[in-house]
């Protein structure tokens, strides 16, 4: 029969008060439970002021030969022990690096030590990094998993829900009802960002719109789903199409089976009312615009958008004269030969808000153990001139 949580915590307190500082790993061995379980217990006891949490150790509130511990001054390290906050983001990911820097600013201003872990592109890369960070005494976690496919995302749910330390997801929103639904998260509202793009084009008179988007990240999947929902219901859109922005914009196969099998469809077109599909291995955007009679496109992400605009120009299609374009991400959209109007998710603000939420969880202040927060921050539209009012031309 499993030991009641409060009884286990009473045993932890008894051991710590009788021996002084005790390693978390030693407590786990003595109580015959996992290190993650003891770490969680120690965290909760520290928040309640019943013991002090150190770097991989638990200490009594009152030292054997010293005065009672006093609260740290405002602005000091909330845990008072120098334990780092782990930041885990994918390597070579310029979009999330801005999120990282937003979090870094908040943590450094609070005097928090940061341990940065860059996850390689291999499958299941984040878990060993998180385990290493926890073994090194990380007391909080900010993480933006790569999650190239839905399956790779769901494979992370159970272990990420059991880190044993306060954890905040950045720019990721787990599936409703999943084990991570009740985990703190701060994310851009990509439905709203997609809405901004569609409304901008419709306001300029465009009625037939293409979305060329990736399918290898949570953001890409959110944008694709939002565009299909918005365009299908919009009275001002006569025809819409979703297609991959490049042939390598899908999750690749991996040892975990997280990606599609070789030869799986790489494109997905849905015209309003006709439900057609296109499994072509490459994208000829010029031909697609002609085929659908489309006069505007939303392109995700920025690099793919700039490449597609170049390919349009090579085919004699000028932006915005012949085709209006809105990019999605706004990392480098402004740097093209034609600066692109773009939806700009608040990347740095996502990091700042996530770090502030994590600091709140670590502070031990009133309400720090309050309800889970799922924060959405709205993107904005940066208008630069790659979209103009529709006039009848022949592409």
Cis, bond preceding 301 (omega within 30 deg of 0):
yes
End-to-end CA distance of the chain: 73
Q: Which of 52-56, 65-69, 186-190, 355-359 has the lowest mean pLDDT?
A: 65-69
Give the pLDDT of residue 252.
64
pLDDT higher than 50, residue 209: yes
Mean pLDDT calculated for residue range 165-192: 94
159 or 65, which is more confident: 159
18 or 370, which is more confident: 370
Give the pLDDT of residue 299.
96
Residue pair 223/300 in contact (Cβ under 8 Å)? The answer is yes
**Per-residue tokens: 356:** 């502030």
- Read off the pLDDT of residues 192-203 as tens digits, 9 standing for 90 and up: 999 999 999 999
Q: Which of 5-14, 124-133, 239-248, 332-341 has the lowest mean pLDDT?
A: 5-14
Residue pair 16/1 in contact (Cβ under 8 Å)? The answer is no
Residue where the block lists tokens 């374009």 = 325
Mean pLDDT calculated for residue range 357-369: 84
**Per-residue tokens: 103:** 């979090």
pLDDT higher than 70, residue 71: no
Measured CA to CA in angstroms, residue 202 lies from 265, 271, 292, 293 at distances of: 30, 17, 16, 15
- DSSP secondary structure of 132-175: HHHHTT--EEEE-----SHHHHHHHHHHHTT-SS-EEEES--PP
- Read off the pLDDT of residues 282-341 as tens digits, 9 standing for 90 and up: 678 999 999 999 999 999 999 999 999 999 999 999 999 999 999 999 999 999 999 999
**Per-residue tokens: 244:** 């991959």
Give 124's pLDDT tier (boundaries 50, 70, 90). confident
Give 228's pLDDT tier (boundaries 50, 70, 90). very high
Pairing type for strands 185-188 and 374-377 reads: parallel
Give 392's pLDDT tier (boundaries 50, 70, 90). low
Percent of the chain exceeding pLDDT 90 equals: 56
Residue pair 324/385 in contact (Cβ under 8 Å)? The answer is no
Question: Phi/psi at 298 (nearest 5 deg)?
Answer: -105, 125
How much is the CA Rg of the chain, to the nearest whole Å? 25
Q: Which of 147-151, 169-173, 361-365, 374-378 has the lowest mean pLDDT?
A: 361-365
pLDDT higher than 90, residue 261: no
pLDDT higher than 70, residue 264: no
Mean pLDDT of the chain: 84
d(CA 357, CA 367): 11
Give 229's pLDDT tier (boundaries 50, 70, 90). very high
d(CA 395, CA 382): 26
pLDDT higher than 50, residue 156: yes
């Amino acid at each position: 029969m499993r030991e009641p949580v409060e009884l286990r915590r009473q045993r932890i307190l008894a051991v710590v008060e009788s021996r002084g500082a005790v390693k978390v790993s030693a407590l786990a061995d003595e109580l015959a439970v996992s290190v993650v379980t003891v770490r969680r217990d120690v965290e909760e006891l520290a928040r309640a002021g019943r013991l002090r949490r150190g770097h991989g150790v638990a200490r009594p509130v009152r030292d054997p030969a010293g005065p009672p511990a006093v609260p740290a001054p405002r602005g000091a390290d909330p845990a008072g022990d120098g334990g780092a906050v782990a930041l885990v983001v994918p390597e070579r990911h310029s979009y999330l690096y801005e999120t990282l820097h937003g979090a870094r600013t908040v943590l450094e201003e609070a005097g928090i030590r940061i341990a940065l872990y860059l996850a390689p592109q291999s499958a299941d890369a984040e878990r060993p990094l998180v385990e290493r960070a926890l073994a090194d005494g990380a007391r909080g976690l900010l993480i933006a998993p790569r999650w190239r496919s839905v399956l790779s995302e769901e494979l992370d749910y159970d272990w990420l829900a059991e880190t044993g330390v306060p954890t905040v997801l950045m720019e990721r929103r787990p599936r409703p009802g999943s084990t991570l639904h009740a985990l703190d998260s701060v994310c851009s509202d990509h439905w709203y960002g997609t809405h901004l793009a569609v409304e901008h084009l419709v306001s300029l008179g465009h009625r037939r719109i293409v979305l060329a988007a990736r399918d290898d990240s949570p953001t890409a999947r959110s944008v694709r789903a939002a565009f299909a929902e918005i365009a299908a219901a919009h009275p001002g859109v006569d025809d819409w199409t979703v297609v991959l922005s490049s042939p390598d914009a899908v999750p690749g196969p991996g040892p975990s089976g997280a990606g599609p099998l070789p030869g799986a469809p790489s494109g997905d077109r849905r015209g309003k009312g006709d439900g057609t599909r296109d499994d072509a291995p490459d994208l000829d955007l010029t031909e697609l615009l002609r085929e659908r009679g489309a006069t505007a496109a939303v392109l995700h992400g920025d690099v793919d958008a700039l490449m597609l605009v170049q390919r349009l120009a090579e085919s004699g299609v000028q932006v915005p004269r012949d085709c209006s374009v809105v990019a999605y991400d706004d990392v480098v959209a402004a740097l093209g030969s034609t600066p692109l109007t773009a939806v700009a998710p608040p990347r740095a603000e996502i990091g700042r808000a996530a770090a502030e939420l994590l600091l709140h969880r670590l502070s031990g202040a009133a309400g720090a153990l309050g309800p889970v927060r799922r924060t959405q921050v709205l993107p904005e539209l940066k208008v630069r001139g790659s979209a103009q009012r529709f006039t009848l031309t022949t592409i």
